Amino acid sequence: MDRHRDRRRFRRSLLVLQTAAMHSATRAVYLASVLALFAACGGAQTPAVQHSSGQGDKSANFEQYDARTFYETTVFFGGSFSSDEKRILVTSDATGIFNVYAQPISGGAPTPLTKSTKESIFGVGYFPADDRILYSSDQSGNELNHIYVRDRDGTSRDLTPGDKVKARFSGWSGDKKSFWLLTNERDANAFDLYRYATDGYARELVYQNKEAHFVSDVSPDGHYIALNKVRNNADSDIYLVDTQSPEATPRHITPHQGNVEHGVMSFSRDNKKLYYSTDGHGEFQQIWSYHLETGKHQPEVVADWDVMYVAFSETGRYRVSAINADARTVLEVMDTETGEKLAIPDLPGGDIKRVSFSRSETKMAFYLASDRSPSDLHILDLATGEHRKLTNALNPAIDPAHLVDGQVVRYASFDGREIPAILYRPITASSQNRVPALVWVHGGPGGQSRLGYRALIQHLVNHGYAILAVNNRGSFGYGKTFYHLDDKNHGEGDLKDCVWARKYLESLDWVDGARVGIIGGSYGGFMVLAALAFEPDAFNLGIDIFGVSNWLRTLESIPPWWAAFREALYAEMGDPKTDRQRLERISPLFHAKNIKKPLLVIQGANDPRVLRVESDEIVAAVKKNGVPVEYIVFDDEGHGFLKKENRITASEAFLSFLNKHMGQAK
């Protein structure tokens, strides 16, 4: 099911910090999951503190925890069943770096299958008939993922070698005798499709992607390949390649008028249909199908919100669909034989995510997460109804009662438009104990802040900082009109939404309106810098996490493997060849002389998306103003921090910086 995060990323373009990713095989997918959780390591906790906040017993014995305690929480993901259906392949950062484990479905401790101490490793899946696994890894965050196989004897080999090669897993064949990988070894801008034999790993070129389209899926029988072609950030099409045709010419199957987005979901297991998403029938993404023989299109899943994906079990008996309902996931599993919804056992509050099925379709694995509980793996026996929780992600030193739930709110912006946001209120906050606050800006362009556990946010809220995670205009999940409001308007309307977020915080009687900062990563980091440069009196300070400071350079240096998305990104932000003046006008680096509030910048040295020079130059420029600037660079990270120790360092730096420049939170 992880493949469907790829579809959402495709729609939102490629600078998304939190919810985007390529395939389940790649670091990018898991980077998105990790950053969305921002959960991991930890250690000792600070002594308990007493507060009287007017919130009753909830805060009577409230405890504060240091960053290490929060990051001792473990990240888990992955749901591939072993051939005997007794284990599930999971990826975990239990050792401080991501490795792959075999988790028994009967319960108990997982068995490590990889033991890397330097590079993060992410599981792709078990082989269909034995205990071999595929996994993915890059080099210190450079996103040049390779695909590896771990053989039965425990040795590993690189199936996609090459210094400049990036590779992705694209699925198993229906007969399980082969699997498909995509690599850009021929052309750095384009991914070609190869078939690898399950036995011996001999490979053959299946499709040479001369037009650098996005290769989205292959039918189980290998007959068809589905491609996405992007025209801009509002218009995309689906093409089919018949691999049995000598020409193998892509055939357009989604002709339309005007701007309509189409994204491939998957082929049906019986090779008869292709499922895809489209916003051509209203404000929100719907799931439709295309019958490969008749050419008929028909709706499959429609809702009053975006339908994020549909996916199927091995034979197609079970269909999973997920809806992005006001920043939370509403998931449904339907038995296609009966047309009835699958009965899910009573579970603690939270969202069910990342469902997978055993090949026999007798077992279902899924993750359950909430604001106060990180994602934990569960197993459900579909025959007996027996349910078991297999992992315990939250550090046992943390009492969930001392964490907080996010509240979905809306506030009016400068033009009267309602802006959705998620508000996190510290337990100790009251009208008698007003707390400082932060406006949190998600990544993007086009990302979304969503409900769910984030160690970073919980750490800051636990130490008395309110957080308002804004979904400014241009955010994903609120309809295509809202999504496109910021096209070539970045640093303007979206920035005003963030400024007016402060006004909303000032209206709350438990927030100290005189102490409000702004924090964000990637595109959100750009918004932090833009706020300090273009609205210099709007916030007390800024925390920029690998944010863009110079859009001209960023757009001119996008990685070659983004070729399929380049036009969409230019439609969103502007083409540096034709929109140079506007891009310079909105780039904080060229206006750094205006920045007069304290700034903290965090950067990964190997980031291929927002280059280190973006942070180096803004730090140097702001220091010339005599403004307090702190700068941390992680030499072994890329666009996001995967190693626990680095996340701990960053989180403690955030808190220290806030306490220093906005006053110790009470």
Burial group, residue 396, by CB count within 10 angstroms (0-12, 13-18, 19+)? exposed
* pLDDT reported for residue 56: 39
Please name which of 380, 449, 514, 334 lies closest in space to residue 81, comparing C-alpha atoms.
380
What number of other Cβ atoms are within 10 A of residue 296's Cβ? 10
* pLDDT reported for residue 53: 35
* pLDDT reported for residue 664: 62
pLDDT one-digit tens code per residue, 244-287: 988 889 999 999 999 999 999 999 999 999 999 999 999 999 99
Find out whether 126 and 146 touch, Cβ atoms under 8 Å: no
**What residues have CB less than 8 Å from 72, skipping those under 6 apart?**
40, 41, 42, 43, 395, 397
Residues of the chain short of pLDDT 50, as ranges, are 1-57, 666
Q: Read off the amino acid at residue 125.
A: G
d(CA 445, CA 489): 11
Beta partners for 474?
Answer: none
Phi and psi, residue 8, nearest 5°: -65, -40
Phi and psi, residue 354, nearest 5°: 50, 65
Burial group, residue 246, by CB count within 10 angstroms (0-12, 13-18, 19+)? exposed
Find out whether 124 and 169 touch, Cβ atoms under 8 Å: yes
* pLDDT reported for residue 345: 80
* pLDDT reported for residue 58: 52
* pLDDT reported for residue 11: 39
CA dihedral in degrees (370, 373, 374, 377; nearest 10)?
A: -90
Greatest alpha-carbon pair distance for the chain in Å reads 76
Judge if pTM exceeds 0.85: yes
Beta partners for 544?
Answer: 520, 601
- Structure token pair of residue 7: 């579809």
* pLDDT reported for residue 60: 56
Cis-peptide, bond into residue 445, ω within 30° of zero? yes
Q: How far apart are the first and last CA of the chain?
A: 43
